[in-house]
């Protein structure tokens, strides 16, 4: 499952980059594109970092960053849906993917917190 999520987060970053290439070059679009490219690529980069975590607390902390960056990606995709007419279907698909990655991340965080709690209760 870890490799599947690594691949999905990487593809998400690539797809966001590709959709940004299709927008007009303007101060406004450039600002949003730069932010979307940054946060969408951070989803994958931080997931990979989480996979190399040194402890369960480190893993949770890194996943919290993934959660924030996926949510931020959704925000910028929503802005594009509001202000643009181009690439609506692709933006909606990317928004759905960001939402799924966010849901997976939140579920993973909850699972890890529950495991830590169970271990602490046994002590």
Q: What is the CATH number of the domain that holds 12?
A: 1.20.1440.60
Question: What are the backbone dihedrals phi and psi of residue 86, each rounded to the nearest 5 degrees, phi first?
Answer: -80, 145
Is the full-model pTM beyond 0.95? Answer: no
The DSSP secondary-structure symbol of 85 reads -
Task: Give 34-54 pLDDT, tens digit per residue.
Answer: 999 999 999 999 999 999 999
Whole-number pLDDT of residue 49: 97
Q: How far apart are CA 14 and CA 27, in angstroms?
A: 22
Whole-number pLDDT of residue 11: 98
For the chain, the domain total comes to 1
CA dihedral 104, 108, 111, 112 (to 10 degrees): -170
Range of the domain at 107: 2-122
Q: Which parts of the chain register pLDDT below 70?
A: 116-123
């Amino acid at each position: 499952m870890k490799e599947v999520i690594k691949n999905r987060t990487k593809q998400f970053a690539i797809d966001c980059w590709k959709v940004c290439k299709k927008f007009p070059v303007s101060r406004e679009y450039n600002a949003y594109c730069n932010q979307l490219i940054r946060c969408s690529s951070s989803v994958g980069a931080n997931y990979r970092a989480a996979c190399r975590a040194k402890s369960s607390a480190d893993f949770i902390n890194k996943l919290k960053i993934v959660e924030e960056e996926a949510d931020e990606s959704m925000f910028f995709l929503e802005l594009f849906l509001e202000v643009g007419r181009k690439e609506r279907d692709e933006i909606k698909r990317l928004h759905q993917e960001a939402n799924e990655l966010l849901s997976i991340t939140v579920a993973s965080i909850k699972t890890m917190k529950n495991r830590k709690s169970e271990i602490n209760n046994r002590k």
